[in-house]
């Protein structure tokens, strides 16, 4: 389906950012979906996720962080990202007031969404979905980036590749175990940070089907 362009006002920052709304007929929920650090809302990965979810009856609202909107390669400070996440959620509520909301995103976008939720509950958001949570920088294992998740009191779904250099499996398991029963981990065997797996192991289509099915099933079960 064709995405509807939106202009999302961020009052705290006195600016607007772009958004893309895909809302299928009889949608079951709406996922407020933030992009990763190095690529915007039109990245092919996010487009495939949005299209797959739309086909499964789940809407998405993708949006830009201010730095991406102005073409900068340097991410915004957390406070600016939190303000943008909050504004995007408010826009989603306005566009689809009757639908359950979930929020999150790819890598950096997911972490900024959970940071926002840890500071103050996002209005109407019933769960968080992370597409590759960046628990640590590559080659610098640690769990301090996950400490704020203790303050998130709604259900969380972690979709993670077992070869993700941004989250060593044993460390992510440790964090998820600490957060249970609010946290659920779904691992993509052999997947890297972009969920790419060795060609002999699985096809790209099957991986995306698995991600979409996991998201929709979990949303129906945990965030309605």
H/E segment holding residue 110: helix 108-119
Query: How many whole angstroms separate alpha carbon 163 and alpha carbon 224?
Result: 31
Query: How many whole angstroms separate alpha carbon 140 and alpha carbon 214?
Result: 29
The mean pLDDT value for 178-182 works out to 97
Band (pLDDT 50/70/90 cuts) for residue 128 is: very high
Radius of gyration in angstroms for the set of CA atoms belonging to the chain, rounded to a whole number: 16
Tell me if the pTM is above 0.75.
yes
Tokens at residue 139, please?
């080659």
Query: How many whole angstroms separate alpha carbon 65 and alpha carbon 17?
Result: 7
Report the SS3 class of residue 7: strand
The mean pLDDT value for 9-16 works out to 98
Handedness of CA 54, 60, 96, 125 (dihedral sign): positive
| pLDDT tens-digit series, residues 98-115 | 999 999 999 999 999 999
pLDDT of residue 1: 73
Out of 25-39, 115-129, 196-210, least confident range: 196-210
Domains of the chain: 4-222 (3.40.50.1820)
The mean pLDDT value for 122-132 works out to 98
pLDDT of residue 223: 83
Residue 221's closest CA among 189, 188, 186? 186
Query: How many whole angstroms separate alpha carbon 83 and alpha carbon 10?
Result: 7
Query: How many whole angstroms separate alpha carbon 106 and alpha carbon 50?
Result: 12
């Amino acid at each position: 389906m064709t995405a509807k362009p939106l202009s999302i006002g961020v009052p705290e920052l006195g600016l607007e950012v772009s958004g893309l709304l895909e809302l299928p007929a009889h949608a079951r929920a709406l996922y407020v979906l933030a992009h990763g650090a190095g690529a915007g809302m039109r990245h092919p990965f996010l487009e495939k996720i949005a299209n797959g979810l739309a086909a499964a009856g789940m809407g998405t609202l993708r949006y830009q962080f201010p730095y991406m909107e102005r073409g900068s390669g340097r991410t915004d400070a957390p406070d600016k990202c939190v303000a943008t996440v909050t504004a995007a959620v408010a826009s989603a509520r306005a566009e689809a007031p009757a639908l359950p909301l979930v929020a999150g995103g790819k890598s950096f976008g997911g972490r900024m969404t959970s940071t926002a939720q840890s500071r103050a509950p996002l209005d109407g958001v019933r769960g968080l979905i992370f597409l590759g949570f960046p628990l640590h920088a590559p080659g610098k294992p640690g769990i301090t980036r996950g400490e704020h998740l203790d303050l998130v009191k709604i259900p969380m779904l972690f979709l993670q590749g077992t070869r993700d250099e941004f989250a060593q499996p044993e460390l992510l398991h440790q964090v998820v175990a600490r957060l249970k029963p609010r946290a659920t981990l779904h691992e993509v065997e052999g997947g890297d940070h972009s969920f790419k797996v060795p060609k002999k192991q699985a096809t790209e289509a099957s991986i995306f089907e698995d991600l979409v099915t996991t998201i929709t099933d979990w949303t129906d079960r945990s965030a309605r």
